[in-house]
């Protein structure tokens, strides 16, 4: 019994679990997403296009604590209106560039994402028959140009996963524990872009 409990403890340390809830808004171009941990504690809120954001914050996604304290920003390419269109999205934290998320979404192909933050470089790629079921891989080749499908370049097992539940359409995300100092920050930004890539395809 003690050994089994130890295994559960080690698994929970090794794996970080998050849930992202999408909130409905009265504004068609606005988006609000909430990030919860495995204990259902609200950690962060992503906010774009809501009328209470000041003009200087237009064109980027605010990531803040539940009390409203700003943690950082996801800067959007000019004129993209918050949609997860192909391009590179800069993550800013403490007035410095924290990371970069690149979105690749071509017609007829499954979307995929590159995440670069701290010392991590991840490929997040979906499955052909399940657009919102992604694997997160950390063994990424230096060049992806030779592959028609980025998943073909991967020989290892995923270190994490992103999937959508059928009941409430929440996103669930697992990541390796202790790999990133600000895992919740990068997780919510990635979830925002995955969500809007889905909306753009709809």
What stretch of H or E contains 12? helix 2-14
How does strand 60-64 pair with strand 42-48? antiparallel
The domain spans of the chain are 2-201
pLDDT tens digits, one per residue of 32-74: 999 999 999 999 999 998 888 776 667 789 999 999 999 999 9
Could you give the CA distance from residue 35 to residue 10 in angstroms, rounded to a whole number?
Answer: 23
Cα 123 to Cα 145: distance, rounded to the nearest angstrom: 14
Give the mean model confidence (pLDDT) for residues 19-42.
90
Segment 178-196, tens digit of pLDDT: 778 889 999 999 999 988 8
Residue ranges of alpha helices (H) inside 103-202 are 183-201
DSSP 22-88: EEP-SSTT-EEEEEEETT--EEEEEEES-TTS-GGGTTEEEEE-TTS-EEEEEEPPTT-TT---SEE
Percent of the chain with pLDDT over 90: 30
pTM: 0.83
Q: Which CATH number fits domain 2-201: 2.60.120, 3.30.70, 2.30.29, 2.40.160?
A: 2.40.160
Token duo for residue 51: 């009328």
pLDDT at 108: 73
Q: Over the stretch 113-168, which tens digit does the pLDDT of each residue have?
A: 989 998 888 889 875 545 568 888 887 766 655 455 666 666 677 889 999 887 67
Dig out the tokens for 44 from the structure: 């962060």
Residue 99 near residue 115 (C-beta atoms within 8 A): yes
């Amino acid at each position: 019994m003690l050994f089994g409990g130890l295994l559960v403890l080690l698994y929970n340390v090794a794996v970080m679990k998050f849930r992202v809830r999408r909130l409905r808004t009265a504004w068609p171009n606005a988006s609000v997403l909430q990030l919860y941990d495995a204990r259902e504690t609200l950690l962060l809120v992503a906010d774009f296009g809501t009328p209470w954001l000041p003009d200087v914050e237009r064109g980027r996604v605010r990531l803040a604590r539940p009390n409203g304290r700003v943690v950082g920003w996801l800067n959007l390419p000019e004129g993209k209106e918050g949609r997860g269109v192909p391009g590179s999205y800069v993550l800013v934290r403490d007035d410095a560039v924290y990371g970069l998320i690149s979105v690749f979404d071509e017609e007829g192909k499954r979307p995929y994402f590159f995440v670069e933050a701290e010392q991590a470089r991840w490929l997040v790629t979906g499955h052909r028959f399940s657009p919102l079921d992604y694997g997160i891989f950390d063994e990424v080749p230096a060049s992806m140009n030779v592959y028609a499908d980025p998943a073909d370049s991967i020989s290892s097992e995923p270190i994490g996963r992103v999937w959508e539940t059928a009941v409430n359409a929440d996103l669930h995300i697992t990541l390796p524990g202790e790999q990133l100092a600000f895992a919740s920050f990068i997780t919510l930004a990635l979830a925002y872009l995955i969500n809007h890539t889905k909306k753009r395809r709809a």
